[in-house]
Structure formats: structure tokens, C-alpha cells
Amino acid sequence: MYDEDGKPPEHPRGGGAARRILRTRVALGAAVVLAAVNPLTLSGSAQALAPAAPVALSAPASVSASLSASQQVQWKTDTVAPGVQVRTGVIQNKGVMPVWTITLQAPAVNRLTGAATWAPLGDRTWADTTERQLRTAGFEPRVERVVWDEYADTPRGTMGWQLRVGSYATQAEAQSANQAVAAGGFRTAVEWTGYDGRQLADRESIHVAVIDPARFRGTVASTHDGNVADRETTSSVAVKNGSLLAVNGGFFITSDADGVQGTVAGIAAYDGELESMAAGSRAALILADGGRHPRIADLSTTVTARAKSSTYAVQGINRLPGKVRNCGRPGGAPTELARHDTTCSLPDDLVKFTPRFGAALPQGAGTQVVLDSKDRVVSAGPRGGTVPAGGSVLQGIGGAADWLTAHGRQGERIPVREVIRDSAGRQVELGAHDSIVSAAPTLVKNGRIAIDAATEGTLDPLDLSFGFAWSNVRQPRTMAGIDGHGRLLLVTVDGRQPGVSEGFTLGEAARFMRSLGAKQALNLDGGGSSAMVVGGKLVNITSDATGERAVGDTVQILPARRG
């Protein structure tokens, strides 16, 4: 899992030249990323998205003129199959010169737990006080204003103030200088300014896959390759399935401390079967009828077990009872709301396990009942063992364990009803050829940028120690969108590679997807998980030092099968 707008900082101190540079960047503004990828302003881009490419946003004439002198864009288009194209683009901004720098960390308090922590920016009082302390200690700090990006559910204006020291050509130089700053009792981090959303990235490496269901005769599906309690690389799944193209999917568990590795942290469905429940109401890509009718919606899930006239809420599918990665379930602590990369606890928890859970069942306090294919109780007792073929298992702790003990008598039926709804309350029915992959947040809705980062739990306006790097700093990302002609857009941008590819902020990701003509778009898993595979080969550069990361589910573009 994850291990971003174009608005510049306002330096309270600085020479006239610095102010002129800032004014130039303001003139480019947030539209600069859009202009860089606008299919109508890049040679050959409109043709690559043909037929009938949607009209994308056009940058103002002044911006276009500025870009013509400062920006280089190169694109290559490959037709993978009829109705499937991949565009590889490198966006370079001339004159942009990121540097390594030392960033001071501000003391903060985790809003949910009350624990002391650190934030990459603080309020003006902290910035001014710390600046004086640094100058007294012999350093030359600079104060940079950070503004809120165009999120749909956060404040506007100043987010906070960032305090930095020095500009260095190499990371090693910055780390060496950082020793002296840290020795003065300051909390610090060495950072590359190219990751800031406050200046243009010097270079971005992007892959855009366009799948046209009107022409493509194969199948588009999300898959966990038969075992939801497993991790595999996107490329290994693609090779195994003979896929034309593939990208990584949604968020998943990477640590035993948070649950069973590989299991999805959010809603997931494969071959028409719900295999993981939603974390609150978060964005999801619904691939209906083998990808013939893709759409994006915020989805929530309600699952209920019934024993005669008694019912009990199931809070999870295929996850460790008592632990909910990304939170978003009633009764969860420290929050019932979606909270990214956070594990909440549920002392009273009922979890269903399906045949796709290919690992040993969790053991521990509580009880379980084993059900056959007709939902009849086969056995009841301590937690453990495996899920029987064609059957299922219910595990309960707390009050759920008591309910299972009272109603889990052999031969009794305990059917489980699963309901998926979108944000309008409409029920989503799953067919045999339907799949769902989810992540967060929404990027584009009804053709407009609509990043609900706070609602979907990737950013907390009341706690700047949470989500800033994930949302406002450039990261490798995978995005999915649907344009006005029903075409599916799968996009990766490489990141965490100074001078090679910086990544996107959430805001940049949204503007890029909208520039492609996306009417709906969401952010999938990113960071070291971001991967695109074409013809069985990884085509992007992943950011993990150890190579391509093993992930949870993936989105696979499969060729048509005879018969």
C-alpha cells in the first residue's frame, strides 16, 4: 500500500527575483499540469484516443504560450489489441530545478489517539518561533506557505507553514548538513523539493491505457487470482492468466499486525461474489458484465446473518476478527469513519470467510460455525481450521461469539444476506461476470474535479500529522477513470525517483484524469504497488527498492477466449 497544487508557497522574506519567479508560477497555476497532458495540445494525443476523443480542458492562451517555451512532451502509442491502446508519455519541464533540502517537523497530536507525533508543517506561530531559534543557532531558514489543494471537503487558503533549511545538489550533502541541524535539538527530515505540489515537477513518466468496450472483445475484471489471503505481483498474475494488460488494484494488508496479509482493505468482488466489505463509503470501480459496462461509484456494504427470527450484523468478510484496516465500520475504535492506513479495533465482531480464503482460519478467543453450501451448520466450536469447499465459516468475538453459540446448533440454517449500495442508496446487484475493485479517494465526478479526501479518510483537516504526505506530496499512483464514451482509462505515474519521475499529488492526479476526458475517476493503490504490465512485461518503473511489489487484487485485461 502507500508506504500532490500547482500553487506556489508565499515566502514572507525573499528578494525581488524570488518574487518574480513566484509570480510566474502563479500565472501558470493549477492548470499547468492539465495543459501538459491536454489531448488537444499534444501532437498526436487526440488521434491516440480516437475515435471521437472527448473534448478536454484547454489551457488559457497565456499558459499555452508559456508551456511552448518551457515544456517538452514525448508520447508513444501502442495498440495492444483492437480496442486496447497504451500511451507512454514523458513530461519534462525545462528550467525546473528541484533540490534536496532539510524540512523541520512541527510537534503535533494525533487527533484520534491523543498521542504526541510530528507534522511536516505547523501554524504561523510555530514557524516564526522556530525560525528565530534556527537563526540564533546560525542557520538560514526559509518559511514557505502551504495552501489547501482543490479538495471538495477541506478548507480553502492556508493549510500551514513549512520551515526549511538549505538547498543541496545531492541527498548526501543534505544528509550531512542535516546532522548539524538535528544536533541543535530540531526534528528534521531530508526531502526532495520536486515532490512538493508547490512547484512543477521536472519530469513525469506516465502510462495511459485506454480500453474501448465497444471494440474490445475480451474481458476486463478485477481478480485476486483465487486466493484472497495471498499476495502476488501484478505481472505474475498477468502472465499466469495470459493477460493483454494489467494494473494493480486496491488497498490491501501488508503486515501481520494488521490482519492477514494480502486481504483487501475495502470492498472487493470477483466473479460476482463479495469477498471483502467496504471501509465506510469509498470509491470503487465496478466492472459489470466482464468490463462491458464500467462505472465508478462510492459503495457501502451491509451484511446480515439470520438464525430464524434473530439477526446479527456481519462486519467483515475474509479478515481477522477484531481488526479493521482503514476502519469505517460501526463500533470501531478509535473511529467508525474511514481512516486510511489505520487499523481500528472491534471488540464485538462477526466475520464471514468464503472458499476464496485460502489460508488457515484465524485462531483465538471466540467461536465459529462451519456452514455447508446450503447455509446449514455443520459444526460449531473453537476458531481455526480451513473453509470447506463450497461452504463458508462464521467467526465471532465478543457479543458475536455469544450469538453464534446460541444459534449455531448443528443442522440449523444461518443464511447471510449481502447488500451493496451506492451513495444514492441504489442497490448494486452482482452478476456472475461482475467484479469490483476499490480504493480512495474519488478524483473526478460528473466531469468535475471532486476530491473527497477528508470524507474518504485520506486526509484530516483537523490533524496535519495525518495524510499530508499521502495526499499533498507527489507519489507514484495508479488511477482509473471512465470517459464520456464509456472507455476505461487505467493510468500509472512513476514516482519517488528524483530527476526521473516525481509522481502526482492527488490534485494533479485529478487534473490529469480530467484532461484525458474522464467523467468519473478514482485513485487506486499507489506507492510501491503502482504497476502496469503489457504483454506480460512490467512497463513502468516501480518505486520499491526490492523490485515489483506483491499486491492484493489486480485489474486484468484478458483476451477473448474461443468457446
**For 65-83, what is each residue's pLDDT tens digit?**
333 345 667 789 999 999 9
pLDDT averaged over the chain?
A: 89
Is 80 exceeded by the pLDDT of residue 41? no
Instruction: Supply the pTM of this predicted model.
Output: 0.89
pLDDT tens per residue, range 524-533: 999 999 999 9
pLDDT score recorded for residue 35: 35
pLDDT score recorded for residue 561: 82
pLDDT score recorded for residue 64: 32
Same domain, 190 and 230: no
Same domain, 355 and 293: yes
Whether 438 is covered by a domain: the verdict is: no
pLDDT tens per residue, range 276-301: 999 999 999 999 999 999 999 999 99
Is 90 exceeded by the pLDDT of residue 63? no
The sign of the dihedral angle between the CA atoms of 52, 555, 244, 503 is: positive
Measured between alpha carbons, how far is 523 from 441 in angstroms, rounded to an integer?
6
Domain limit, last residue, from 422, 439, 473: 422
Q: Which of 9-18, 477-486, 541-550 has the lowest mean pLDDT?
A: 9-18
Burial class (CB in 10 A: 0-12, 13-18, 19+), 562: exposed
Whether 542 is covered by a domain: the verdict is: no
Same domain, 225 and 189: no
18 vs 506, higher pLDDT: 506
pLDDT tens per residue, range 344-377: 999 999 999 999 999 999 999 999 999 999 999 9
pLDDT score recorded for residue 326: 98
Same domain, 357 and 241: yes
Domain that holds residue 361: 219-422
Whether 22 is covered by a domain: the verdict is: no
Who's near 553: CB < 8 A, 6+ residues apart?
Answer: 222, 223, 224, 228, 249, 250, 252, 264, 268, 270, 437
In contact, 317 and 351? CB cutoff 8 Å: yes
Measured between alpha carbons, how far is 383 from 428 in angstroms, rounded to an integer?
32
pLDDT score recorded for residue 200: 92
Whether 133 is covered by a domain: the verdict is: yes
Beta bridge partners of 376: 413
pLDDT score recorded for residue 74: 75
Domain limit, last residue, from 138, 161, 195: 195
Same domain, 236 and 309: yes
Q: Is the peptide bond before 498 cis (omega within 30 degrees of 0)?
A: no
Amino acid, single-letter form, for residue 149: D
By percentage, how much of the chain surpasses pLDDT 90?
85
pLDDT tens per residue, range 244-280: 999 999 999 999 999 999 999 999 999 999 999 999 9
Same domain, 181 and 244: no
Single out the residue of 143, 145, 123 nearest to residue 26, CA to CA: 145
Q: Which of 41-50, 181-190, 309-318, 388-397 has the lowest mean pLDDT?
A: 41-50
Whether 447 is covered by a domain: the verdict is: no
pLDDT tens per residue, range 180-230: 999 999 999 999 999 999 989 999 999 999 999 999 999 999 999 999 999
Same domain, 345 and 392: yes
Is 80 exceeded by the pLDDT of residue 378? yes
Whether 432 is covered by a domain: the verdict is: no
Same domain, 231 and 182: no
pLDDT tens per residue, range 90-122: 999 988 999 999 999 999 999 999 999 999 999
Q: How many domains are there within the chain?
A: 2
| 81-92 mean pLDDT | 96
Place 4 in a pLDDT band, splitting at 50, 70 and 90: very low
Same domain, 119 and 251: no
pLDDT tens per residue, range 29-40: 333 333 333 332
200 vs 10, higher pLDDT: 200
Domain limit, last residue, from 422, 443, 463: 422
Is 80 exceeded by the pLDDT of residue 438? yes
Whether 183 is covered by a domain: the verdict is: yes
Same domain, 354 and 292: yes
Same domain, 406 and 287: yes
385 vs 561, higher pLDDT: 385
Whether 242 is covered by a domain: the verdict is: yes
Same domain, 241 and 364: yes
Is 90 exceeded by the pLDDT of residue 175? yes
